[in-house]
Structure 1
């Protein structure tokens, strides 16, 4: 949040400096404390510290920010003990505010279960709006209390036009008619009137009754979840849920009759389809708010009881075009349907390689219990990481595209014995075959010839281990981490996606999309036309390496470990089974066809086969992405 700056100037006349024992030093100390943001310290120098602190804090808050002050006292012969000294205050509200605006704070995109506003987060790289600066002129005087000079407290220190009960106010004016659309133009999120079902801090006894009434619209809310939330809120009222008009109207009277319930009205940016849930939607309210603030208007005014507000300054609001997301509702629905088909925790992330646009992110309720693991999870990627190991070997020249490699049932390399799944053995085979059948032993042999940084550097070329930030994206999104490994057991384990190598479904989708993008790292985006910024800029894989890798990945689907998905035209991919302690292994599949790349994770599946089937179901239902709007 940008800090407001207040410049305070005492305006005098004549040419003699303030002299003598008049309280002028104490007045300057008061203003200096206010300048430093020490409201309590400033208030303590007044004749009424309690009233001063309350009024100063309330007015500073209503101006939208925690201020930092600067002060200049010109020469003058005014005596604050005899004549009030004019005090000129300049309020600088910065260029991107966090005020509530005219329609309330932006919601978290839920609507049926919304408990917080979107955090303002700057202008997304757009040109900064003009500064928002206003000036007020007040008066200050001093008096002696018990032989000590004090500042005579009055709200008119802030502005002489303030009347009893009046206050200063700043508000942003935003174009709330702006919606968030999917890539086809269908509405995803819209600003909608909602009713905030709120419980007083001392009304925990009403939690069960409230939960019973709102459960139809918000089935995850229980009496216990309300009590837990109230405990965290302490002595503040607790918002249970925000309900749309269609949900609140049938139960409004019953809710209003419950002790401790209040039903304030406000607006929220909520999903148009409450059943459409995805972690990728959670960041869109922030991106929406950034876009609105970039064209936002504002006003600052003095609000006195029973009087028209006195304007201090303002700027008109600009019209904001609807924000277009790269998400496609039909693809998101296909992903949601696919992950719902298993009782195990499952995640799918789909990306358009040509643009980096995130098409869908879905995880089922079992995965939801762990948080947004599709975007932030840290899992061993298993044999899907052979995409990186093989690319590193091809790029460094330690492996030829058609080289014959050993694929025994098990092998000891650098002190680490690596077996194949179910101890299968192929003997001496072309690398294409070893890759398609996912020979761990072949990868172990290859890794022994690599340089310590080879796998880490190659992973970064495909976006794995790279950090991305952009509108609608959270800094907690995680692609992966790949260690630098000296020759030895750690490198052998890393070569097959075990040991210290970690990745999320998002990270492996980025990797596969980068392969499909000709080996050039994609820049993911959630808002159309606003690609992420990467913390690394690696060179792309050479075209010849990409061609060889794609040939290998095509064979995985035709004759290797992913033949269950060979009904999907043009599909290339790689399977993975990742060991996790003593429990069942995780199953992975990454693949791409046309202009869609996907990563599928099923935790505890003990095989990649279910992930392959899930990917085939998803891709068959999703089809190819719709084009983004021109421009």
Structure 2
């Protein structure tokens, strides 16, 4: 019997015991591993916690067995893959265990240090976690805080909560959160809790205790990147937040920490987080405020995008709540640009040499051009007028007739010279400029020439057109200083005279054309636009250039360019704009 118990093949020897324990751990069989210890309950709890804290990507093996005095010992080698993903962190170590021969056979004398290099006798736990650097600032062009990391309180509401009591506390600070809205969301959640709001610190502080006292309400704190000024909102912040998060994640360190019962932590292994530089943007907070205020009175979806022509820097991207419900339309929404596209048509005609600004052309009230009956607004008829006058007064018949005579790809090429139809990859900014496909038939060229048919543009795209006219060519868009976008194509260079001729005609649009409502704005240049679509009211547009600010205003279903002109007026006459 003694020989059998001590023989090399005996199942209760330290080597075999160690291999059984390692195999059970590698198979995630907590019960089997715990049963091989002197205290299965304590071992089961500890193994479960370690798996919860570190994951289960681990390989244990018996490194060696031996003696320590009268004790039989087993040395385990462990190798963890931590963090998952394509590049997991690796942690390797060895631990020592004592094997004891008791009434139930050989067992591992339980101590948490069998699993990991705890201090002897520790009852703590392990956790793998990322460690982050000091949060970078996201600053505006003047160096003021634009986005900062802040603590928010998530209000989690379960189906058993009194939504009327919750709403009574939340509605004053979050008007869209009501008892009815929460009941609707809870019904859709099918028994799961909902999070109707995340509160900033200043909003949470006065009501947190009362909220927490409501049964079924749980408050959870998180850190988030938020606007320093709570009144500011912009779809441009989404890309900046993503850029900030990417930099934060790339700079993150990691650690495996031993957590003591009192909550104190000791790092066992890890790497320190790297420093992340602040993100300096081109955004002008004052112009952003002015643009948001200019859109506030408008009920339909509306947007303003402003660009600095000399640099390509994005100065402001604003849209109202109705637009927010549809997504980031200021940057990626595509619409027929209507007569604002006549800037491109005029450029193509001027470059083709078929006209000069002073060429006298007919502007009849309506004309059948290649089977398409083209009317002017309310069928106004100017007779024979110089091209610059036809442009300023937005003669559809004149521009449609000019477009017919152009090659099929002339408008495509001319638009690209202003950045329209070019896809830009811009750090911190996701945009779509628009599409100007070749017009193969005369009828298609008529439609395209007045910004209808297959031609589409985003508010950003038309702001880029205005910026490119002001700059005599495209300045690649940029929202992070020093990091301009890269286009998917390199358009032909714009001839040097084209921008100056367009700027002169756009000035006449303000002084004697369709934008005279803005004639009090010094040296403003612009172009109005009304764009038909489907069966609804027409969209309204205005693109303008005032000093080193180029911008586009878009108002959906406005039925005319009037609301866009009025919004432009509020923007340009604002104290913030005049102080620039």
Q: How far apart, CA to CA, are the structure 2 residues paired with 1:57 and 1:596?
A: 61
- What does residue range 140-179 of structure 1 map to in structure 2 within 5 Å? 160-161=116-117, 166-176=125-135, 178-179=136-137
- What does residue range 422-433 of structure 1 map to in structure 2 within 5 Å? 422-433=378-389
1:198 is matched with which residue: 150, 156, 173?
A: 156
Tell me, yes or no, if structure 1 residue 467 matches structure 2 residue 430. no
2:142 is matched with 184
Q: How far apart, CA to CA, are the structure 1 residues paired with 2:195 and 2:274?
A: 32
2:517 is matched with which residue: 550, 559, 564?
A: 564
1:552 is matched with 505
How far off its partner does 1:346 sit? Answer: 2.5
| Structure with the higher helix share, 1 or 2 | 2
Verify the 8 A CA contact 1:173 1:299 in the aligned structure 2.
no
2:460 is matched with 506
Verify the 8 A CA contact 1:384 1:588 in the aligned structure 2.
yes
How far off its partner does 1:233 sit? Answer: 5.3
Q: 1:303-324 CA distances to partner (integer Å, 9 max, x unpaired)?
A: 5757975645333344445433
- What does residue range 104-503 of structure 1 map to in structure 2 within 5 Å? 133-137=89-93, 160-161=116-117, 166-176=125-135, 178-200=136-158, 202-203=159-160, 205-230=161-186, 237-303=193-259, 311-474=267-430, 477-503=431-457
How far off its partner does 1:208 sit? Answer: 3.1
How far off its partner does 1:594 sit? Answer: 0.9
Change in 2 beyond 3 A, CA 1:254/1:308: closer
Secondary structure at 2:205 match in 1: helix
2:79 is matched with 88
Q: How far apart, CA to CA, are the structure 1 residues paired with 2:414 and 2:486?
A: 19
Verify the 8 A CA contact 2:155 2:220 in the aligned structure 1.
yes
Change in 2 beyond 3 A, CA 1:364/1:53: farther
1:620 is matched with which residue: 568, 573, 577?
A: 573
Secondary structure at 2:168 match in 1: helix
Change in 2 beyond 3 A, CA 1:446/1:138: farther
Secondary structure at 1:371 match in 2: coil
Verify the 8 A CA contact 1:139 1:156 in the aligned structure 2.
no
Verify the 8 A CA contact 1:381 1:588 in the aligned structure 2.
yes
Change in 2 beyond 3 A, CA 1:159/1:470: farther
Q: 1:184-236 CA distances to partner (integer Å, 9 max, x unpaired)?
A: 23322222333222223x43x43332122111111122233334444565665
Change in 2 beyond 3 A, CA 1:312/1:540: farther
2:70 is matched with none
Change in 2 beyond 3 A, CA 1:359/1:169: same
Q: 1:403-446 CA distances to partner (integer Å, 9 max, x unpaired)?
A: 33222222222222211111112223222111111111111111
Q: 4+ residue runs of structure 1 moved beyond 6 angstroms? A: 25-31, 51-61, 82-85, 92-95, 154-158, 162-165
Q: Structure 2 stretches of 5 or more lacking a match?
A: 1-15, 35-40, 66-72, 97-107
How far off its partner does 1:587 sit? Answer: 1.4
What is the aligned residue count? 536
Q: Which moved more, 1:274-283 or 1:253-262?
A: 274-283
Change in 2 beyond 3 A, CA 1:242/1:92: closer
Verify the 8 A CA contact 1:380 1:578 in the aligned structure 2.
yes
Change in 2 beyond 3 A, CA 1:194/1:168: closer
Tell me, yes or no, if structure 1 residue 602 matches structure 2 residue 558. no
How far off its partner does 1:27 sit? Answer: 12
TM-score normalised by the chain length of structure 1: 0.74
TM-score normalised by the chain length of structure 2: 0.80
How far off its partner does 1:470 sit? Answer: 3.0
Verify the 8 A CA contact 1:89 1:137 in the aligned structure 2.
no
Change in 2 beyond 3 A, CA 1:603/1:94: closer
How far off its partner does 1:47 sit? Answer: 5.2
How far off its partner does 1:571 sit? Answer: 1.2
Change in 2 beyond 3 A, CA 1:156/1:470: farther
Verify the 8 A CA contact 2:22 2:60 in the aligned structure 1.
no
Verify the 8 A CA contact 1:416 1:488 in the aligned structure 2.
no
Verify the 8 A CA contact 1:377 1:505 in the aligned structure 2.
yes
Cα RMSD for the two superposed structures: 4.1
Change in 2 beyond 3 A, CA 1:467/1:209: farther
How far off its partner does 1:608 sit? Answer: 1.5
Q: How far apart, CA to CA, are the structure 1 residues paired with 2:476 and 2:20?
A: 58
Q: How far apart, CA to CA, are the structure 2 residues paired with 1:250 and 1:316?
A: 37
How far off its partner does 1:590 sit? Answer: 0.2
Q: 1:511-555 CA distances to partner (integer Å, 9 max, x unpaired)?
A: 111111212x23222233332333333233121222222222122
How far off its partner does 1:301 sit? Answer: 3.6
Q: 1:79-129 CA distances to partner (integer Å, 9 max, x unpaired)?
A: xxx98874534557789xxxxxxxxxxxxxxxxxxxxxxxxxxxxxxxxxx
